[in-house]
């Protein structure tokens, strides 16, 4: 009887180990693959410089897993489908490229904390998620941004956009592909209202 109890106890201890010997599942990683903006030389009339801060975002967008919404009030995360790189960094880099390509500035760079630029661009990525309610599968991208004058601290431009795209291929790779397209539309729409030249921001 004692031997039977010992064997039973040993089996119970080994069960989790044996269960773990099955085929392990590893996460798939994805990235935003935004098309590069053209990079023409700055116009001769461009005399102002601008630095772009890294975009901010809600905490749940920085955790790694791709986000989906089964309802307006609920946020879900794909356990085995994750971003290979923080989407904020990719969006920030894309904005830098687009501002350079505009030719409106003599210099465009990432913000380093030094006040040696004429303007500071600050943005927030508010939404980057799959939407699974109200029929069909969609993706939503929302962001906002503002430009401030370093000399005066005044906001000289601001804008906010939201873009929704319909997912035709209902797989996670299909969702990410639509996120790429929708993100590109959102960035173009966001920056389309940046005036040239920017106001001086004098009070």
Per-residue tens of pLDDT for the chain, all 203 residues: 444 444 434 344 444 444 445 567 788 999 988 888 776 665 667 789 999 999 999 999 988 999 999 999 999 999 999 999 999 999 999 999 999 999 889 999 999 988 889 999 999 999 999 999 988 899 999 999 999 999 999 999 999 999 999 999 989 999 999 999 999 999 999 999 999 888 875 55
Q: Cα 176–54–74 angle (5° rounding)?
A: 45
Predicted confidence at residue 140, as pLDDT, reads: 97
What is the distance between the alpha carbons of residues 103 and 108, in angstroms, rounded to a whole number?
Answer: 10
User: Are the C-beta atoms of 191 and 165 separated by less than 8 Å?
Assistant: no
For the chain, list the domains and their CATH numbers.
Answer: 28-33+46-191 (3.40.50.10610)
Q: What is the pTM of this model?
A: 0.83
Q: Tell me the CB-side half-sphere exposure of residue 156, using CA atoms within 13 A.
A: 22
Predicted confidence at residue 47, as pLDDT, reads: 84
Torsion on CA atoms 54, 56, 59, 64, rounded to nearest 10 = -40
Q: Determine the distance from the C-alpha atom of residue 62 to the mean position of all C-alpha atoms in its chain, rounded to a whole number.
A: 9
Predicted confidence at residue 109, as pLDDT, reads: 95
Dihedrals phi, psi of 121, to nearest 5 degrees: -100, 125
Predicted confidence at residue 6, as pLDDT, reads: 43
């Amino acid at each position: 009887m004692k031997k039977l109890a010992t064997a039973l106890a040993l089996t119970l201890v080994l069960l989790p180990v044996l269960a773990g010997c099955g085929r392990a599942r590893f996460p798939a990683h994805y990235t935003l693959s935004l098309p590069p903006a053209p990079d023409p030389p700055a116009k001769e009339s461009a005399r102002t410089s601008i630095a772009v801060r890294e975009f901010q975002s809600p905490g749940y967008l920085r955790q790694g897993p791709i986000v989906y919404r089964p309802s307006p009030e609920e946020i879900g995360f794909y356990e085995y489908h994750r971003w290979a790189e923080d989407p904020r960094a990719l969006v920030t880099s894309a904005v830098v490229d687009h501002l350079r390509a505009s030719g409106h500035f003599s210099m465009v760079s990432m913000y380093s904390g030094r006040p040696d630029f004429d303007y500071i661009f600050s943005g927030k990525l508010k939404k980057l998620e799959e939407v699974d309610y109200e029929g069909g599968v969609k993706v939503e991208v929302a962001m906002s941004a503002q430009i401030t004058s370093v000399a005066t601290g005044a906001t000289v431009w601001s804008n906010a956009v939201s873009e929704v795209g319909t997912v035709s291929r209902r797989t996670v790779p299909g969702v990410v592909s639509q996120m790429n397209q929708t993100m590109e539309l959102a960035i173009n729409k966001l920056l389309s209202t940046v005036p040239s030249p920017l106001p001086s921001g004098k009070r």
